[in-house]
Structure 1
Amino acid sequence: MSNTNTLFSSLELGEIRLDHRVVMAPLTRLRADRDGDVPNALMRDYYAQRASAGGLIIGEATTVSVTGRGYLGAPGLYTDAQMAAWKPIVAAVHARGARIVAQLWHVGRTSHASLTGGAAPVTASVVPYEGVAFTADGWTPVSPARALATTEISAVVDDYASAARRALQAGFDGVEIHAANGYLLDQFLQDGSNRRTDRYGGSIENRARLLIEVVDAVRTIWGAGRVGVRLSPSSGFNGMSNSDSESDFRYVAQALSGRQLAYLHVVEPRVVGSEEIAAGLHAVAARDLRAHFGGPVIAAGGFDGTEAQAEITRGHVDAVAFGRHFIANPDLPSRLRTGLPLNPYDRATFYGGDARGYTDYPVWKAA
C-alpha cells in the first residue's frame, strides 16, 4: 500500500494535530535535579531548542513513583514540585508552536534500592536478570527484585493515574504510556519475565491486563485521542524474551485498538540494544501491528530521513520518531526538509552531565 503522504504533510494523532511527521522520540538524558527528580531550566532550554512549529515532542521517560525510579537524574511526575517544574518547559515548547506529550514510566526490576527509598525493586515475577541502574555511583548492578502481590497492583495503576493527572495540570498535550524496552509494563507483557499464576499471568489476555488497566485509568483523566502507548515487539533489551511475540503483540494492538488512543508507538527490532542497527529491516513491527490497531502508528528505530519517507510513502507508518539525530540536531525537521547535513552525535554525553552534548549542538547557519 502506498499513499501521497510525506514527512512534511499534516497528521492528526487523535486530538493532537501536527503540521509534519518528524517526531522527537522520548530520550533519557538524566539532566533533572538529582534532589527530587525535578526538571530544571537546562531542560527547558533543551526542549525549546528542539520544538519545531507544528511538530511533536515525546518527552523523556518520566517516573510515576519513587519505587518506579531506576535512573538518577530522570525527571518525575509523582510530586507537585515536579509538576510545577514541568510547566515552564511545556510553555517553552508551546511558544515555539510545537506539541509535547509526557511519557509515563515505571522501570520495575531495572532499579537499585538506593533509588527506591531502600525498597526492593518490583516486577512481575522473580526470574534471573542481570541489568544495571544509574545511581550516585554510576552504572550499578540492579538490586534483587520481588514480585508484586496481586493486591498491590491497583496501587501501581493509581500511580500512573496520578502522574497522568499531574501531566494534565502541567499543560502537556497528552501522555504516552511506556510499555516497551523491558520496563515494568513490558515485564508483565512478555512471558520470559512473567511467570505469574494469578489473573496477571499465563495467557496473553492476563499478561496484558496491567497495561490495559493503566490505559483505561489514564484515559479517564485525559479523554479520547490524547493517550499513546509505546511497545517494543521482539526486543531483547533489558533481558526480555517472549515465546510468541508475533501473536502476543497482535493481541495487545487489538486490545488497544478500541480505546480511542492517539497513536501506537512501535520500537522496531532493527534496533539491537540502544545503538546497533540491523541493516535491511524496514518498519516490520509497525507495519504488522497497524493491521491490528485502528489508529495512527509511529515507528522508531534509527531511521534516517530517506528511510522515514519511504516507510510513510509505503503506508507502513504514519510518522517516524527520531532519537539520536534529534539529540545532535535541534533543528532536525528543517534539515531533513531541505536535505542539509546533520551534526554527529556524541554518545559520551548522552546520559547525565551538563550543557555539553545537551544544549550546545548548533543549528544550521549558512556560510
Structure 2
Amino acid sequence: MTDINAFSPIRVGATAVRNRLVMAPMTRSRATEDGLATAAMAEYYRQRSGAGLIITEASQTGLRAKGYPTTPGIGTAEQAASWRPVVDAVHEAGGTIHLQLFHVGRLGHPSERGGLPGHAPSALLAPGRTFTAQGLAEHGMPSAMTADDIRATLREFAVAAELAISAGFDGVQLHGANGYLPQQFLSPNTNLRTDEWGGSTRNRIRFVVEAVRAIAEAAGADRTSLRVSPAGTVGGIDEGDSAELYEALLGELAGDGLAFLDVSETPGQRDLTSLVRKAWPGVLVLNPHRGTGPETPHDRVADGLAAGADLVALGAPWLANPDLADRIARRGPYNEADSSTYYGGTERGYLDYPVLKA
C-alpha cells in the first residue's frame, strides 16, 4: 500500500497493537435506556476484534452529557460493570479496545436528560434538529456553564475515566470532535465567554487541555487520547482560524505523553491534516475523508498512511465488514453498509453481516 505496512505492529501508548487498522467510534444506539452495555454489544465488538484498535461508540459521562436515545454511559459503577463483558470478549479474541467519552454540550434534547437543559460555554441554540425517542425535534436551549459547572464536568470526565479503566479498557478517549462540548469551547461562534474559559485562543483551548489532563491523571497519560475534527462544522461550529487553534492546542498537549491523537479529517482540509501531523510528535490516527470517487477501504488505508498517519481509522467499512482486516489484506470484496440500520433496532444490520469464507 505504502512504505508503511498496514499489518505491521505498533505501540500505541501503553499497548502494542497488531496492525495499523482502527475501528472508528460509531454511535449505534443499542444500549439500554439506562445506558447499560448489552450482550449484543459484546458480540458486535468481538466480531470486529481483528482491528488493531477498537474505539467504542461515544459514551456519556453523566445525565447532563447525554444527547440521544439508548447511547451507553460510563458515569456509574453499574454502567462500568455492564461494559466488562464487552472488554472481555474483545480481549479473549486478541483485540485492543479504548472507550470514548463524550458530552454533547448544547446538542441533543432535554427529554433525553430527564428535562435538564444542556450545558454549554454560552447560551446559544444549536441549529437543526436532533434525534429523540419520539422522533426528530429541535435542539433545546442550553444553559451557560458557570465556573463551578465547568469544574464539575472536568471531575465527571475523570470519574468516567477511572470507571473505564476499572472495567478493563485499554485506554480512554475524549471526544473533542463533531460539535460536542469540547469543540464548542474551542470555537469562537459557540464560546462567547469573557472569563478565563473564552475569548483568546489560549483561553478557548483551556477546557480541552484540562479535560484531557483530568482524564490522563485518572487513566494514565499513555492510556489517554483525544479525537478532533479540525475545521469541522457539525453542529453549527465555526472554529475561525483552525490552523492557529490547533497549533496552540497541540503545542500545549504535545509534551503530555498521550497515547495518540485521533483526527477525523474534514473534506478539503488535507493541508490542515498535514499541519496537524507536523505539530503532533506522537502517534497519529487518521480517519481520512472519503473522496467523491469509488474508493475502497484498502485505498483509504493507503491514503491515510501516505498522509503521515501511523494508524488509519475507518467507520462504516468496519460496521459492514466484521472481518475488515482480512478483506483489506485480500483487497476485497466488501459488504456495503445498510444505513437504515445504523441507529437502534434489532440485530439486523448489527450482528448479521457475513464474513469471508476461508
Q: Please give the range of the TM-score, normalised by the shorter of the 2 chains.
A: over 0.9
Equivalent residue number for residue 326 of structure 2: 334
Match of 1:93 among 74, 90, 109: 90
* 1:182-331 aligned within 5 A: 182-270=179-267, 281=268, 283-302=270-289, 304-312=297-305, 314=306, 316-331=308-323
Matches of 2:112 and 2:85 in 1, distance apart?
A: 26
- What are the superposed Cα offsets for residues 234-276 of structure 1, whole Å, 9 maximum, x if unpaired? 1111111022111111211111111110000011112xxxxxx
**Cα drift, residue 311 of structure 1:** 3.2
Bigger mean CA deviation after superposition, 10-19 or 284-293: 284-293
The residue matched to 1:27 in structure 2 has which SS? coil
**Cα drift, residue 135 of structure 1:** 1.7
The residue matched to 1:365 in structure 2 has which SS? coil
The residue matched to 2:67 in structure 1 has which SS? coil
* 1:149-168 aligned within 5 A: 149-168=146-165
- What are the superposed Cα offsets for residues 43-99 of structure 1, whole Å, 9 maximum, x if unpaired? 11101111117x110011000010000011110001111101100000000011000
Matches of 2:275 and 2:325 in 1, distance apart?
A: 27
- What are the superposed Cα offsets for residues 175-217 of structure 1, whole Å, 9 maximum, x if unpaired? 0110110000110011111111010001111111111111111
- Would you say the 8 A contact 1:105–1:178 is kept in 2? yes
List gaps (5 residues or longer) in structure 2.
291-296
* 1:122-201 aligned within 5 A: 122-201=119-198
Matches of 1:285 and 1:359 in 2, distance apart?
A: 37
Matches of 2:66 and 2:39 in 1, distance apart?
A: 22
The residue matched to 2:266 in structure 1 has which SS? coil
List gaps (5 residues or longer) in structure 1.
271-280
Matches of 1:336 and 1:254 in 2, distance apart?
A: 35
TM-aligned CA distance change 1:329 to 1:282, over 3 Å = farther
Matches of 1:41 and 1:94 in 2, distance apart?
A: 15
Matches of 1:45 and 1:308 in 2, distance apart?
A: 25
Amino acid at match of 1:252: L
**Cα drift, residue 151 of structure 1:** 2.2
**Cα drift, residue 310 of structure 1:** 3.5
TM-aligned CA distance change 1:134 to 1:282, over 3 Å = closer
Matches of 2:284 and 2:128 in 1, distance apart?
A: 30
Q: Give percent identity, aligned residues only.
A: 38
- Would you say the 8 A contact 1:266–1:285 is kept in 2? no
TM-aligned CA distance change 1:181 to 1:80, over 3 Å = same
Matches of 1:191 and 1:243 in 2, distance apart?
A: 7
- Would you say the 8 A contact 1:302–1:323 is kept in 2? no
Matches of 1:242 and 1:134 in 2, distance apart?
A: 25
Matches of 1:68 and 1:282 in 2, distance apart?
A: 29
Equivalent residue number for residue 14 of structure 1: 13
**Cα drift, residue 339 of structure 1:** 1.2
TM-aligned CA distance change 1:64 to 1:319, over 3 Å = same
TM-score normalised to the size of structure 1? 0.92
- What are the superposed Cα offsets for residues 85-141 of structure 1, whole Å, 9 maximum, x if unpaired? 100000000011000000010001112111112111111112342233322102221
The residue matched to 1:17 in structure 2 has which SS? strand
Equivalent residue number for residue 37 of structure 1: 35
**Cα drift, residue 315 of structure 1:** 5.5
**Cα drift, residue 287 of structure 1:** 2.3
Matches of 2:144 and 2:194 in 1, distance apart?
A: 12
**Cα drift, residue 11 of structure 1:** 1.2
Amino acid at match of 2:169: F
TM-aligned CA distance change 1:300 to 1:311, over 3 Å = closer
**Cα drift, residue 283 of structure 1:** 4.5
Match of 1:354 among 342, 346, 354: 346
**Cα drift, residue 363 of structure 1:** 0.6
- Would you say the 8 A contact 1:282–1:311 is kept in 2? no
Amino acid at match of 1:297: L
- Would you say the 8 A contact 2:125–2:142 is kept in 1? no
Matches of 1:167 and 1:310 in 2, distance apart?
A: 32
Amino acid at match of 2:332: L
CA RMSD of aligned residues (A): 1.6
The residue matched to 2:257 in structure 1 has which SS? coil
Amino acid at match of 1:354: T
The residue matched to 2:4 in structure 1 has which SS? coil
Amino acid at match of 1:21: R
The residue matched to 2:301 in structure 1 has which SS? helix
- Would you say the 8 A contact 1:264–1:298 is kept in 2? yes
Equivalent residue number for residue 275 of structure 1: none
Amino acid at match of 1:47: Y
- Would you say the 8 A contact 2:286–2:304 is kept in 1? no
Number of residues paired by the alignment?
A: 352
